Amino acid sequence: MNYFQREKRFIDTINLAYIFIPIILLPLLLEWYLHIHNNSFFIEYHDEILIANIVYIVIARFALLDTAIYIFSHSNHHFHIALMQVVLLYLEVTVITIVYYAIVFHIFDVFALFHLNSEFSPQNLEIIHEHSFVTSLYISAVTFTTLGSGDWIPQTLNAMIAVVSEVILGVVQGGVFVAIIIYAHQNKEIK
């Protein structure tokens, strides 16, 4: 309980938050580099690395949501400015999360993790395979937003875990965002 009552956080201003959030991608970009240059290690620990990526983003995201709530609740700015800052912060967290999962799907070969359950012409299938990162980004976006087109079906247990974790993060973020808006509206009426 002491964690939630603490007054000091690593990120305590909105300006620092905007700069810090993209840093979350650095370990994954390093992993991508190592995957390209040291593929034998990556192949040997494939499943463990994927699970570690999922755990990392879940922990990082909850820390970011905690930070966003703290910044909003301690903002000295006018109500509308503080609310706009939180909206922009949440938008950045959303984009970073979708890109994070897209990079994970791309590193672990999106076509090994997911099966396309649709009828496409051979030309369209060839285009999709040529643009695996765009495909990864698409799968990540529809998963995070819980749109779930149903065309891409996870093929492995780890892919299923990745999808479940991304869906949970998307739902929780949406719920927290709505809660902040309601909280802000109620506090505005009280003042």
Residue 15's pLDDT is 60
Cα 152 from Cα 102, distance rounded (Å): 14
* Amino acid at site 182: I
Reduce the DSSP state of residue 5 to 3 states and report it.
helix
Give the pLDDT confidence score for residue 140 in this predicted structure. 94
Residue 37 tokens, joined: 């240059």
Q: Provide block-wise average pLDDT over 10 residues at a time, the chain (191 residues).
A: 48 61 79 81 83 86 72 65 74 88 92 86 82 92 84 90 92 80 64 49
Nearest to 107 by CA among 169, 48, 56, 31: 31
Query: What are the residue boundaries of the structural domains of the chain, listed by start?
Result: 13-190
Q: Which of 95, 24, 72, 43 lies closest to 177, judged by CA?
A: 72
